[in-house]
Amino acid sequence: MLVFIINQNKKPLMPCKPSKARKLLQAGKAKVVRNTPFTIKLLFGSSGYTQPVIAGMDTGSKVVGCAAIANGKVLYQSEIYLRENVSKKMEQRKMYRRTRRGRKTRYRPARFDNRGNSRREGRLAPSIKSKLEAHFREKMFVESLLPVTGWKVELASFDIHKITNPEVSGIGYQEGDLKGFYNVKAYVLDRDGYTCQHCRGKSKDSRLHCHHIVFRSQKGSDAPENLITLCETCHKALHNGEFKLSGNKSKTKHATEIGILKSQIRKSGWSFAETFGYETKYRREQILKLIKTHYFDAVAICCRDDQKVEVEDSVFLKRNVSKGDYQQRTGKRSEKKIPTGKLFGLRKFDLVKTSKGIGFVKGKRSSGFFAISDLFGNKISDSVNMKKKCRRLSARSTTLVQMVQMTHSSPTCHFRQAGTVEEGVSC
């Protein structure tokens, strides 16, 4: 495992071995500025000599892979898990605001369309914006660790029509299901024979509606396969909870998001060389002989077709979380009394070292017994006494980081021990 170095002006230099970093720290010529990944800052002037470093990124709507290589060796590799709960959090915040208005003021109608942000040209949905910014955040982080001289980015393309209809070919791309119909509603009504698909016309209600099987609020799409014809009587009964419909979520959600992200990355002014998925797959399978992972894809993106590299035995897994906890907890009508701030000096997602292991704070209790978990929320212990033998290793941030040691072809997770020099640099 390498140790990253920055100079007095916070400019990145080439990384060094742990033994050299230890000597610099013991001699008082450097200080530790970050534990994961372990980074030191020089306290004396240096020549600033660097070598060419190529960084690569495998874009995605759920997971992003990133890597950097120099002199035929992988210097850095990471896998970032993006947020999927932004829409849910915004709905929750809207609910809190709406109920607060009802308690404290007269009724006021929703004013979403009056706000300039909602009518701004080129506006992105908050969920997409969060994922786009995660790509740029990782780019800036790599450039803060290493003297990157060039970027290579894979911008994937998907055939949306092929995903929904694998048999489509030729003229079929122009002659879709909606050919000959004014809109989707007309197609769905004709497909269902202008008959309610629940009561089959028994209610004698002639007013028909197109209903989403999986609601839009639950990530359902406007695709015809997610729409069904219901009469007004059955439609009201469905929303009253008298019966339920089953259906599948959208198959094209992530493919659509990738298309938006690709377009925005190209418009951002980021200077990079674009690569394609088939090139990445060829290098990873035929040249590097690596298994399918997002960070190994990023390694393959960095390489040339005839280049072999020495792969690092560790990878940094990252997970994006919200900046804070949002819930109404003050006032007479507060439903939850558990504080969202610090409790016993700890916040949710703080990395702590306890007698039962190292993990992130997952749940807090006023008794002082907390639940801790790993990066992905898997339980390590649901009752740890934070009043005894507990040490906070790092404070909560919007990006949680965990170092993983690779064992052959499968990763085995190990938390990096922070604190002393030996714990920070030895692997």
Indicate if the pLDDT at residue 300 is higher than 60. Answer: yes
Task: Please list, residue by residue across 310-331, b when 16 or more beta carbons sit within 10 angstroms of its beta carbon and e when fewer do.
Answer: ebbebbbbbbbbeeeeeeeeee
Among the listed residues 272, 297, 268, the one whose alpha carbon sits nearest the alpha carbon of residue 284? 297
In degrees, to the nearest 5, what angle opens at C-alpha 45 toward C-alphas 39 and 49? 75
CB atoms within 10 A of CB 352: 19
pLDDT of residue 220: 76
pLDDT at position 69 is: 95
- Checking if the pLDDT of 420 tops 60, the result is no
> CA 54 to CA 147: how far, in whole Å?
9
Confidence grade of residue 98 (pLDDT, cut at 50, 70, 90): confident
Residue 84 has pLDDT above 70, yes or no: yes
Position 417 pLDDT exceeds 50: no
Statement: residue 127 has pLDDT above 60: yes
Report whether 67 contacts 267 (CB < 8 A): no
Q: Taking the CA of residue 413 as centre, how many other CA atoms within 13 Å lie in the half-sphere pointing to its CB?
A: 14
Tens of pLDDT, residue by residue over 229-242, are 999 889 988 888 88
Which of the pair, 340 or 122, is modelled with greater confidence?
Answer: 122
Instruction: Report residue 415's pLDDT band, with 50, 70 and 90 as the boundaries.
Output: very low
Closest of 159, 163, 157, 130 to residue 263, by C-alpha:
157
pLDDT digits (tens, 9 = 90+) for 8-57: 999 999 999 999 999 999 999 999 999 889 999 999 988 888 999 999 99
pLDDT of 191 reads: 87
pLDDT of residue 425: 31
Do 161 and 173 touch, CB atoms closer than 8 A? yes
Q: How far apart, in whole angstroms, are the C-alpha atoms of residue 54 and residue 417?
A: 29
What's the pLDDT score for residue 150? 95
Q: What is the pLDDT of residues 348-365, one digit of tens each?
A: 899 999 988 999 999 888
Mean pLDDT of 271-284: 92
The pLDDT assigned to 108 comes to 64
- For every residue of 140-169, DSSP letters joined together read HHHHHHS---EEEEE-----HHHHH-TT--
Token output for 34 = 């970050």
Closest Cα partner for 55 from 266, 268, 290, 299? 299
Q: Is the dihedral of CA 259, 262, 265, 266 positive or negative?
A: negative
User: What mean pLDDT do residues 141-161 have?
Assistant: 89
* Domains and their CATH numbers in the chain: 1-92+126-160+252-323+399-427 (3.30.420), 177-239 (no CATH), 337-397 (2.30.30)
What's the pLDDT at 422?
Answer: 30
Q: What stretch of H or E contains 97? A: helix 86-104
419 — pLDDT class (breaks 50, 70, 90): very low
pLDDT band of residue 340 (cuts 50, 70, 90) is low
pLDDT of 105 reads 62
User: Residue 118 above 90 pLDDT?
Assistant: no
